[in-house]
Amino acid sequence: MKLTNGRVIGSIIVCASVNIPMLCVGRIINGFSVGICSAQVPVYISELAPPSKRGRLVGFQQWAITWGILIMFFICYGCSFINGRAAFRLPWGLQMIPAMLLFLGLLFLPESPRWLAKKDRWEESKAVLTLVHGKGDPNSPWVNREMEEIREMVEFERRNADVTYLELLKPNMINRTHIGVFTQIWSQLTGMNVMMYYITYVFTMAGLGDDVLPPSGIQFAINVVMTIPALLWMDRWGRRPTLLIGAFFMCLWLCINAGLFAVYSRPARPGEFASASVSMSVTGPPAKAIIASTYLFVASFAPTWGPVSWTYPPELYPLRQRGKAVALCTSANWAFNFALAYFVPPAFANITWKTYVVFAVFCFAMFWHVFFLFPETANKPLEEVEHIFDDTKPGSVRYIGTPAWKTHNTRKAVLLAERNQFDADEKLRFGHQENNSNEKTAVPTSTAV
């Protein structure tokens, strides 16, 4: 709630700013509030959501972000027709409305059951699990199983020292830390923000002239619409296939744009465009193909790296390290967001179409990084993910655990467990997973956490 208050205060300062220092202070307050909120929301949802719906629910955060981008784009576009200072003060002031709505919503949301357990509020923890996982039945086997896993994990963590950021760099955690951080870094290095921030440059170079804002709005609408498939099917698809497919197709569209600009563009004439970053000009069918592949790039990012980059990191870490780990991952996201905002304009000005090659290489690299090192976490209880990173099991790799390509999505078994409906084969299968989880908690966790 303090974060929402900070967002409102920051918006008021920005809206009422009379000079640059006052504007900067308001933006800094807003930045801290949004940054902390974006780090904590995925953690809260992942700890509260059933495993079979965790990706969908965390993905709603990304969907809300896409809606925010779309709405604010058209608000700013509409305000551009206003004469006077209201043209920029009105969009800044309207930012406090979502913060107020979030404040009101927080009054009705329950605490995370895992956080409650960590504070020894066991009855409240079970009540929340019963509400959101057990459909009101306190005797649900699924609720009892989760409570037992949470109890074992919390008791183990209490036998260890308080977590610090340095603990995330220890040999038994460095693999998870690097995966979570690179998930957020790669989501920026896809080049999506090239499309978001500087799409007007691209469309101007593609021959749309001064009328680039309405076509730019189309990509924001595509971003909203194409996030919906992820909300519906991301948990069914799994994390790994979604990330791999997204990296492949984004690399494809970036290569197509690079090729089209390289072959069909001409250098911008002196004084032809207002910005040096608009360094090329393409007309005719190639220009239309550039616009189409740009839209297809956005349509490839929206159901893949967009929502998964927020869903995946909170699933990787044990309870005691989750908050700090996800905060570190989110800071990597914003750091590279900031860096790219400064990199892209001079890149277009100096290396022109090769800017697309740079991001295509990033997408190619992230594909193989995911394939070899990013394990599947979909539909697994958060406590059970620990077993993946246990490097003491037979067949595991030191400091890594189970090889990523050997991990699988166990959605069917989890759905049956949540509904308390096991057939003989699935009961045996899920029971084996549960036994592994118990063995892990009893002995190997001391080296894995």
Cα–Cα distance measured from residue 23 to residue 28, given in angstroms and rounded to the nearest whole number: 9
Residue-wise DSSP of 258-280:
HHHHHHH-EEPPTTSSSSTT--E
Q: Is 326 exposed, middle or buried (0-12, 13-18, 19+ CB in 10 A)?
A: buried
CATH fold of 2-109+169-373: Growth Hormone; Chain: A; (1.20.1250)
Tens digits of pLDDT across the chain (449 residues): 556 677 788 888 988 888 989 999 998 998 888 888 877 888 888 778 877 778 888 888 888 888 988 898 889 888 888 888 888 899 888 888 888 888 888 888 888 888 888 888 888 988 888 888 777 888 888 788 888 878 877 887 776 656 788 888 988 899 999 999 999 999 999 988 777 888 888 888 988 866 677 788 888 999 999 999 998 888 889 999 999 999 999 999 999 999 999 999 999 988 888 888 999 999 999 999 999 999 999 999 999 999 999 899 989 988 778 888 988 999 999 899 989 888 999 999 999 999 999 999 999 999 999 999 999 998 887 777 888 998 888 888 888 988 999 898 877 777 776 666 554 344 434 444 444 444 443 333 333 32
What long-range pairs does 400-407 form, CB within 8 A, spacing at least 24? 400/175, 400/373, 401/175, 401/375, 401/448, 402/375, 404/240, 404/370, 404/371, 404/372, 404/373, 404/374, 404/375, 404/376, 405/371, 405/372, 407/240, 407/375, 407/376, 407/377
* pTM score: 0.77
Q: Residue ranges per domain, the chain?
A: 2-109+169-373, 113-159
Q: Is 20 exposed, middle or buried (0-12, 13-18, 19+ CB in 10 A)?
A: exposed
